[in-house]
Amino acid sequence: MIMLGIETSCDETAAAVVVDDRRILADLVLSQESEHRPFGGVVPEVAARAHLAHLDGLIGRAMQVAGVDFPDLAGVAATGGPGLIGGVIVGVTTAKAIAAVHGLPFLAVNHLEGHALSARLSDGIAYPYLLLLVSGGHCQLLIVDGVGDYRRLGTTMDDALGEAFDKVAKMLGLGYPGGPLVERAARSGDSGGFALPRPMLGRPGCHFSFSGLKTAVRHAAAGLPAAGPARDAAVADLCASFQAAAGDALADRTRNALAIFRARHAGVATLVIAGGVAANAYLRGRLAALAKAEGAQLVAPPLRLCTDNAAMIAWAGIERLRLGLTDALDFAPRPRWPLDPQAPPVGYAGVKA
């Protein structure tokens, strides 16, 4: 079973070809960083136009790299949401056209499910497992019992962690994209240089909050030296302190989630971290230490499968096609698409359900 995957939910145009034995025949990603850098963040209209300009060519290249033609495909999977709706429409419309012309099944994949199942593509792990999904738009803890079977234990009550990283980078003038730049600056900094809050630390439950931490960084940034080596050193210390606070929060909330998971599932717990922020080496290390202390198995997909990519979308399409979960060509792209629709809403502004 060979699947074409298409990903256009944000600022990465991606196409991939994946086989059901977990081989990735092609995995191409076209970054839009240069288009969005002048604005300090992703501009939805710019992203949609870039997807429209490059997607067809990228799909052609992916098929060529994979050495397959459209009649060889078992189906076409595209991110159907959640995401920036203009970009999602481009990907879905393209996938529908390919499916219609070549008589192939069309699969609308939840972008979050792509992340959720990425460890099954990279490591072949079995259900069930606990998922920490951390990205620019989402920060959630979920029990993954199977395809389309998710129980959300916690979500952010304000900012997602990736969003907080980007905003901290912007406050400190580090540039875009912010997450990798904060991580780089933190490597030479002192994580004890600034006393920052650990939101929700020690509280029951699994919800996250990063707004207060972000505000504390803003106040600290206002007192930094104006320029020169002293400012550079202070920025490094502030980045390291922010990253350490975020790591403490992630570890604390995930520890609570592991306890809930174990109450529901016997045996060794598997903890999967996925999403763009899972590429952060410091945070991976913190979660690896937590897993070891708690006697859990940690699975972290390769970095290229943590950030947005089409291989995970193709794989999710394979898993859905195995179960006969195809979609009609009248599927409507979704800007919001929770993995656990039954989870109670968290009543704060900016919540990413």
- Residue-wise pLDDT for 215-238, tens only, equals 999 999 999 998 899 999 999 999
Would you place residue 101 in the very low, low, confident or very high pLDDT band (cuts 50, 70, 90)?
very high
Q: What is the pTM of this model?
A: 0.92
**Residue spans per domain, the chain:** 2-116+304-322, 127-303
pLDDT of residue 136: 78
Q: Rounded CA gap, 153 and 138, in Å?
A: 13
How is residue 27 written in tokens?
Answer: 């995995």
Strands (E), the chain: 2-7, 12-19, 24-31, 75-81, 106-110, 129-134, 139-146, 149-155, 270-274, 297-299
46 pLDDT above the threshold of 90: no
The reply to whether domains 2-116+304-322 and 127-303 share a CATH topology is yes
Sheet holding 139-146, edge to edge: 149-155, 139-146, 129-134, 270-274, 297-299
CA-closest candidate to residue 12, choices 36, 34, 37, 29? 29
CATH of domain 127-303: 3.30.420.40
The tens digit of pLDDT for each residue in 138-165 reads 899 999 999 999 999 999 999 999 999 9
Q: Up-side HSE of residue 349: CA atoms within 13 Å toward CB? A: 1
CATH 1.10.3720.10 applies to domain 2-116+304-322: no
